[in-house]
Structure formats: C-alpha cells, structure tokens
Amino acid sequence: MAETADIVIVGAGIVGCSIAYHLAIQGAPRVVVVEQDLICSGSTGKSAGGIRQQFATEVNIQLSVESFKMFHRMRDELGVDPEFRQVGYLFMATTPAELALFQRQAEVQQRYGIPVQIVSPDDMRRLVPYVRLNDIIGGVYCPTDGYAAPYEVTMGYAVASRRLGVTIHERRPVTRILRERDRVAGIETPQGPIHAPIVVNAAGAEGGIVGTMAGVEVPVKPYRRQLFVTRPLPEFSAEPPLTIDYHRNWYFRGEMGGCLFSGPKDEESTFNTNVDWEHVAESVAKAVARVPLLEKAEISRGWAGSYDISPDNNAILGAVPELSGFYVATGHSGHGFMHGPATGKLMAELILTGKPSIDISPFGLDRFRTGRSVREPMTMHEA
C-alpha cells in the first residue's frame, strides 16, 4: 500500500525536528520526517552552537528571545540538557561606523529587555585580557548570550517527536516533490512515495535543491565554513565570552579548556565540507593576529560545515504562494541552531492555524520578488 501522511518534513536538523515536535504537541496527526542521512548529520551537527540575542532586525530579536525561553525549559520539556553555557557574546568594533551600528541596535535590544551594554577597550581587556585591542575602539557585550550543544538539542526534539507519534525516516533522500497542478501532493524517495497534502522544506543547505524539485525557486546556497580547536591553554581555564572581530568576520570561544576559532568561509558556493588542511596556516595567522597567545597553541582537530545562506542573510519562512501546501523553513544564514526552537513553534502554528504568535511574514519567500527584503547586518555565521 502507498505510504500516506498529513505533513511531510524534508530534513532532520534542528529546524525539521523542532517543527515536527511542535506540530505533534499542537495536535497534528501523521507527521513524517525524511532525512537523506542521519538525524543532525548536516549543518546543525557541524555548527559551533552559538546562541545570541544581538541582532539588528526586530523579528530576529524576537526569534532569539523566544528561543532563549525554550532553551531554558528544555530539561523539563524534552528531558534533555542543552548544555547552554551563558558565557556571553562580545562584538568588537574597529571603525566608528561599526560602533555606531552596535549602539543603534543595542537601544532596540534593550527595549526587549536584553541586557546588552556598550563597552570600552578597557572593559574588553578585563573580559578577554589576551586579545590584541590596539585597533579596537569599542564594542557591545551581552552576558546572557552563549552557546549550547546542537546534537543533544536536536536529538531531544527527535526523541520527543517520536514519543508523540512522529515517524522519522533516516537515510531516505527525497528525489522529487510530487505535485497536482498548483498543489503539493507528497514526495518521491528511493523507497517509494509518501503522499501528503503538506510538505515542509527544512533541508538547510540543500533547501534550494528541494525547492527546485518542487518547481519553486528558493534562493538558498551552501557555503563552507571551517572551524578549528586547540588543545587546552592555561589562559582559557576561565572560559571567555564568544568574542567576534566584526570587521574581520572572525570569532573564537572556549572549548574544553582550549580555543575554538573560525577558519575561512568560502567565497564561492559549494557543498564541499572537507577541511582545507593545506591552508590551515592562513587561518592560524588570522587567529594569532587577534589572539597572540595562539601562536604557541596546538590544533587538536578541525571540521567544516555548510551554511544555508539567503540573499539578505535572513531565514526564509512561510508558505509558498504559487504551490499550495508547500512550506519553506530554510536559509537561516548561520542562525538555524539558535533560532531553531522558535522556528519550529512558529512554523507549526502557521501550518495548523495560519496565525503564528510572532509575525514572520517579513521572512516570506515573496520578499525577494517584491523588493521588501531587509538585510541583517549582524550576521557572523558563528552558529
């Protein structure tokens, strides 16, 4: 007999699993998730897990505030420890224009009750005494930001979803989105079709490909970003805030007593997630320029993941007007993990009631056709 479902979700990263869970707790019947590999094997599992409230656009701030609440109640709600370490986030400014941006957005964030504060180089020296600050003129700091464990959080949603009746198929790639004229009709897979009146594209870096399968242009491209971790360093025994050199699009944080720091982000779109060990010296030189003590550090490991980047560095969330029953939740541009909890809740509300509790219409797919897109300047691809 042909497989059927009420809702099929493509992708089992943080966004797909969060949507599945929130659909289930809101009473949706027969929810199925299909994943081409394993749960949390894509971008989510390779992220650095950053969680922050410091955004410039209000809808991103709202997503962060809502997700923060959800991270804090995961122990009780999902029975999982998200390992949320609130070490703080520090953005460093090199130019007056950057500092002015931080000051403007801090005023907006403070209206939402976020405890951000503009800091001087002397303040930063107390927070990260080993960072070279000779060209830094100021910054912004939020002590409640931090990072969590992407795998544990995603598996928490997956396990809870299954407990509520959701079916998750691993190693079952989608080969085609089924359509009946202007309405979605399900998916095709190597193991056979699954017929459903609603399909959600939560495929992350492959969101553009899944869109193409449905005959819908979803402007999401994958970009590789590499990360490296050093062996323990005495200076990192007291964990520093996640510190971002905004001008150079570079960041670091603590990791098991060592330093995790960002490597290069490819300029050209690619699905390549191999570490470029031949050019690791260039990444180390960039790190040493800001944190000189890393010159004596030994790299213990490195990995790379794909960011699902949209044209304006904002997620693409909502229904697709030209294909009834087809929804998109991708293109998070490095913010998928930190906004995944709220995204799942809001997408479930949108699918089931048409009225999400936070207005996510600014993230609709049609913004790129109508010229209504607004770029998010606080995008560092650190998640």
CA atoms of 221 and 270, how far apart (whole Å):
8
Per-position DSSP letters for 264-313, written without gaps between them: EE-SS--------GGGHHHHHHHHHHH-GGGGG--EEEEEEEEEEE-TTS
Q: Where in the chain is the domain with CATH 3.30.9.10?
A: 87-144+224-306
Nearest to 187 by CA among 204, 175, 205, 170: 175
Handedness of CA 252, 257, 258, 264 (dihedral sign): negative
Tokens describing residue 103:
């000051």
Looking at residue 108, its amino acid is V
Q: How high is the pLDDT of residue 10?
A: 98
| Helices 58-72 and 336-353: angle between axes, nearest 10 degrees | 100
CA atoms of 155 and 175, how far apart (whole Å):
25
Q: How high is the pLDDT of residue 372?
A: 82
Q: Where in the chain is the domain with CATH 3.50.50.60?
A: 3-52+150-220+312-370
| Helices 336-353 and 150-163: angle between axes, nearest 10 degrees | 30
CA atoms of 19 and 14, how far apart (whole Å):
8
Task: Kindly list the distances between the CA atom of residue 100 and the CA atoms of 57, 96, 244, 281, in Å, as whole numbers in the listed order.
Answer: 15, 6, 16, 34
CA atoms of 202 and 254, how far apart (whole Å):
30
Give pTM, 2 decimals: 0.96
Phi, psi angle pair for 247, to nearest 5°: -65, -35
- Within a 10 A sphere around the Cβ of 361, how many other Cβ atoms? 14
CA gyration radius for the chain? Answer: 21
* 3-state secondary structure at position 227: strand
Nearest to 145 by CA among 301, 13, 375, 335: 335
Q: How high is the pLDDT of residue 172?
A: 98
Is the separation of the CB atoms in 229 and 252 below 8 Å? no
Q: How high is the pLDDT of residue 380?
A: 61
CATH number belonging to the domain at 87-144+224-306, selected among 3.30.70.250, 3.40.50.150, 3.30.720.120, 3.30.9.10: 3.30.9.10
CA atoms of 201 and 9, how far apart (whole Å):
6
Q: How high is the pLDDT of residue 227?
A: 96
Consecutive H or E run containing 111: helix 96-111
Q: How high is the pLDDT of residue 159?
A: 98
CATH number for the region 3-52+150-220+312-370 comes to 3.50.50.60
* 3-state secondary structure at position 240: coil
Per-position DSSP letters for 154-200, written without gaps between them: HHHHHHHHHHTT-EEESS----EEEEETTEEEEEE-TT--EE-S-EE
Tokens describing residue 128:
């990260």
Q: How high is the pLDDT of residue 381?
A: 53
Neighbour order of strands in the sheet with 138-142 = 117-119, 138-142, 89-93, 242-245, 250-255, 258-265, 221-230, 299-309
3-state secondary structure 197-215: CCEEECCHHHHHHHHHHCC
Task: Give the pLDDT of the chain (383 residues) as one tens digit per residue.
Answer: 789 999 999 999 999 999 999 999 999 999 999 999 999 999 999 999 999 999 999 999 999 999 999 999 999 999 999 999 999 999 999 999 999 999 999 999 999 999 999 999 999 999 999 999 999 999 999 999 999 999 999 999 999 999 999 999 999 999 999 999 999 999 999 999 999 999 999 999 999 999 999 999 999 999 999 999 999 999 999 999 999 999 999 999 999 999 999 998 899 999 999 999 988 888 999 999 999 999 999 999 999 999 999 999 999 999 999 999 999 999 999 999 999 999 999 999 999 999 999 999 999 999 998 888 878 877 765 55
CA atoms of 204 and 196, how far apart (whole Å):
21
Is the separation of the CB atoms in 146 and 48 below 8 Å? no
The contacts of residue 28 (CB under 8 Å, 6+ apart) are 6, 7, 348, 351, 352
